[in-house]
Amino acid sequence: LGEVARRSRDGEGEPAENICNVLNRKDLKKIENGGTMPKTKTNDPGAHHASSGALIRRFLPYLANYKMVLCLDLFCAALTTLCDIVLPKIMSTITNAAMGVGITLTAGIVLRLAAVYFVLRIIDGAAQYFMSGIGHIMGVHIETDMRRDAFDHLLKLDHTYYNNTKVGTIMGRITNDLFDVTEFAHHCPEEFFIAAIKIVVSFVILCRASVPLTLAVFACVPLMGVVSVYLNGRLRARFRQQRVQIGELNSTIEDSLLGQGVVKAFAAENEEREKFAKGNREFEEIKTLGYYAMGAFNTSTRLFDGLMYLVVILAGGLSLVNGKITAGDLVAYMLYVTTLIATIRRIVEFAEQFQRGMTGIERFAEIMDTPVTIGDAPDAVPLQSGPGDIRFENVSFEYPDDHNKVLHDVSLDIRAGERLALVGASGGGKTTLCNLIPRFYEVTSGRILIDGQDIRRVTLKSLRQDIGIVQQDVFLFADTVRENIRYGRPDASDAEVEAAARAARCDHFIHTLAGGYDFMINEEGTNLSQGQRQLVTIARAILADRPALILDEATSNVDTRTEELIQRAMDALMQGRTSFVIAHRLSTVRNADCIVVLEQGRIIERGSHDELIAKKGKYYQLYTGNLAEN
C-alpha cells in the first residue's frame, strides 16, 4: 500500500530564507565622510495583506504568457495520475477473481494485468520527467519576467522611496522572494489539477461499487478541507510575520556592518550586540509560534487520516458482512483511500510552498504598487535644447516624508554659460536646491524653468540628459576606470574616454595604476583616494558633455596638489556651461558670475564676490572666517 502513496515529487531543498544583503556603498561612503547615518526607517512590508485571490490575479498575466507550456505540463500531470487510479482497479479485479466472483483467476489474466501496469508505469515515468523539467523551466521564465518588471519599476522610483527603503530589503524582494514564485508557478496549477483528477475519478469509480460507503468516505474530505484551511491560515500569518522579522533583522545587521568603522571607533560593540540580540530573540519567538501552528496543522491531518481509515474498516467491513460489496471492492476502497490521503497530504505539504509563493507575489506586488511620484506628465514633451538659462521662480520645497520646509520662496536666474556659486552653512539647503533641477524631488510650490520650459512639462529623460551632475558623495561602480568614465556617454570610444580623462587632469594618475584604464575599482571604491575618485567623476561629466552642470563640491580634505588638479578639472568642465556649483573652494567662488548665500532655505545675499565683500554681510563673514563645511 505504501507504494501507492505519492512521494514528494521533487527533491529540491528549501530555498534559502535569508534575504541577501549587500553592503550599500553609498551609505558606506556617507559614514566615511562623517555624514548622516543611513536612515533606519523601513517600509513595513506587512502593512497590508492582499487576499489570495487578488494575489493570484496579479500573477495570472505572467502565467498567461506560457499557456502552451502550462497545458503540456498539465497534460503530463494528468498522465502521472493514471497508475494511482488504475492500481486499485487491478487489485480488486484480482481479488474478486480469486474469490470466485465473476471471472476465474488464471496466470494469463495476471500477466495481462501486470503488462498493463508496466506500460502505465513507463508512461508515468516519462510524464514525470517532462513535468519536472518543463514545469520548473516555465517557473524560471516567469520568475525572470517578474524580476525584470520589478527592476524596471525600481528604476522609476524616486529618491524618497530609496531614502525610506533599505537596499537589503529591496534586494531580498527581487531575488529570494521571487525564487519562491518559481516553485509556486508550476506546482500550484499541477497540484490542484492532480488532486482534482484523483478525487473526481476515484469518487466515480467507488460510487459504482457502493454509493453509501463512498459518501461516508468522502464526507471526511470537506471536513478535512475546512479544518486545514483554518489551521493553514494561522500558519500563513505566522509565516508572514517571520518574513517581516527577518527583514528587520537583516536591516539591523546591515546597519551594524556598514557602520563597523563607527562601531569600532566608539567601542560600541556591546550596544550593537544588544540591539542585534533583541531582534534575534524576537525572530526566535516568532519562529517558535510558527512551529506550534505547524504542529497543530500536521496533527490535524494525521487525525483525519485515521478517521478515513476508520470509516473504511467500520463501514466497509459491515457492508462486506451484509453482502453489499465484494472483497475486491473493499481492497479498492482501501487503496483509493490511501491515494486520497496521500493526495490531501501532498496538498497540505504544498500549502507551505503555496504560502511562500503567495508571500513572494505579495512582496512583488508591493514593489509594483509603489506609485511613481516623479514621472513624465501625460503631455510631456522633450526639452527643447536652448542656450541653457535656468530660472527658479518662488520655489519652496519640503521633503515629502517629514514635511520639514527646507526651501522658502527661492528665486534665481542664471543665464546661459554663467556660473552660479551656492554658499552657506551646512544644512542650508544647497544640495536640496540642486536636486530639484533634475527633478530628483518635485518642487512643493513655485516652478523651475530651463530656457523658459517648466521642468515638470518636459520628459524626465530629456531633462536629465541636459544636465551633468557631479555629486558630493562620489559613487563609482565596481568596474574598470575606463567603464566608470564611459558611464557618462556609453557610446564614447576609448579615445574619447581618454580625452575626457586628460581634460579632467586624471590621465596622469590613471597611468600610475596597475593596468591603467583597465584598473578595477573595488566594491567600495576604496582602492582610489578621495581626490582620485572625484577626478574620475569629473572626467565622467566632461565626457557626458551636457549643456548644464550641477557640481556639488566634495568637502574632503585633499592635498593642495590634488586640490589644484580638481580645481583645474572643474574649470575645464564648467567652461561654456550653465553651472550650479555648491562651492567650498575659495577659488571656485571667486570665479563665479554670481554668488548666492543660502541660509536655512532662504537666499540672504546675492551678488559678485567684490560686491558681497564690500557689503560686509554674511558672505564676508564666511569668506573671512573660512568657508563653512558642506
Q: By CB under 6 A, name the binding residues for ligand ADP.
A: 163, 399, 402, 404, 406, 426-432, 630
> What's the sign of the alpha-carbon dihedral 292, 298, 303, 307?
positive
Pairing state of beta strands 578-582 and 548-552? parallel
Q: Which is nearer to ligand ADP, 43 or 163 (CB)?
A: 163
Establish if 556 lies at the interface with Mg ion (CB under 5 A).
no
Report residue 612 as a C-alpha cell.
558681497
- What minimum distance in Å lies between the beta carbon of 434 and Mg ion? 8
**Cα separation, 497 vs 489, whole angstroms:** 9
- What minimum distance in Å lies between the beta carbon of 427 and Mg ion? 8
Q: DSSP 3-state assignment of 205?
A: helix
From the list ligand ADP, Mg ion, none, pick the one residue 429 interacts with, judged by a Cβ distance below 5 to 8 Å according to partner type.
ligand ADP
Number of residues near Mg ion (by CB under 5 A): 2
- What minimum distance in Å lies between the beta carbon of 463 and ligand ADP? 20
Q: Which is nearer to Mg ion, 338 or 431 (CB)?
A: 431
Select the residue whose beta carbon is closest to Mg ion and give its number.
431
From the list Mg ion, ligand ADP, none, pick the one residue 406 interacts with, judged by a Cβ distance below 5 to 8 Å according to partner type.
ligand ADP
- What minimum distance in Å lies between the beta carbon of 430 and ligand ADP? 3
Q: How far is CA 611 from CA 351, 593, 614, 617, 621, in A?
A: 75, 11, 5, 10, 14
- What minimum distance in Å lies between the beta carbon of 602 and Mg ion? 16
| Chain centre to alpha carbon of residue 317 | 57
Q: How far is CA 397 from CA 159, 172, 262, 625, in A?
A: 14, 33, 32, 30
Q: Which is nearer to ligand ADP, 158 or 329 (CB)?
A: 158
Among 7, 6, 101, 2, CA closest to 330: 101
Residues 410-449 that bind Mg ion (CB under 5 A): 431
Judge whether 395 and 411 are in contact, CB under 8 Å.
yes
Among 474, 307, 449, 298, CA closest to 388: 449
From the list Mg ion, ligand ADP, none, pick the one residue 537 interacts with, judged by a Cβ distance below 5 to 8 Å according to partner type.
none
Residue 199, amino acid: I
Write the CB contacts of 100 (distance below 8 Å, at least 6 apart in sequence): none
Site string for Mg ion, 373-412 (x = CB under 5 A): ----------------------------------------
- What minimum distance in Å lies between the beta carbon of 427 and ligand ADP? 4
From the list Mg ion, ligand ADP, none, pick the one residue 462 interacts with, judged by a Cβ distance below 5 to 8 Å according to partner type.
none
**Cα separation, 211 vs 218, whole angstroms:** 10
Write the CB contacts of 155 (distance below 8 Å, at least 6 apart in sequence): none
- What minimum distance in Å lies between the beta carbon of 487 and Mg ion? 22
- What minimum distance in Å lies between the beta carbon of 431 and Mg ion? 3
- What minimum distance in Å lies between the beta carbon of 159 and ligand ADP? 7
Burial grade of 129 (CB within 10 A; 0-12, 13-18, 19 or more): exposed
From the list Mg ion, ligand ADP, none, pick the one residue 163 interacts with, judged by a Cβ distance below 5 to 8 Å according to partner type.
ligand ADP
Report residue 270 as a C-alpha cell.
556591546
Q: How far is CA 147 from CA 50, 530, 591, in A?
A: 20, 35, 49
Kind and range of the H or E run holding 478: none
Q: DSSP 3-state assignment of 448?
A: strand
Rg (CA), the chain: 35
Q: Which is nearer to Mg ion, 484 or 555 (CB)?
A: 555
Q: Which is nearer to Mg ion, 132 or 630 (CB)?
A: 630
Q: Which is nearer to ligand ADP, 427 or 576 (CB)?
A: 427
Q: Which is nearer to ligand ADP, 176 or 556 (CB)?
A: 556
> What's the sign of the alpha-carbon dihedral 186, 192, 196, 202?
positive
Residues 601-630 that bind Mg ion (CB under 5 A): 630
From the list Mg ion, ligand ADP, none, pick the one residue 399 interacts with, judged by a Cβ distance below 5 to 8 Å according to partner type.
ligand ADP
Residue 581, amino acid: V
Q: Which is nearer to ligand ADP, 187 or 584 (CB)?
A: 584
- What minimum distance in Å lies between the beta carbon of 24 and ligand ADP? 15
Q: Which is nearer to ligand ADP, 188 or 549 (CB)?
A: 549
Q: Which is nearer to ligand ADP, 317 or 427 (CB)?
A: 427
Residues at the contact surface with Mg ion, assessed by CB under 5 A:
431, 630
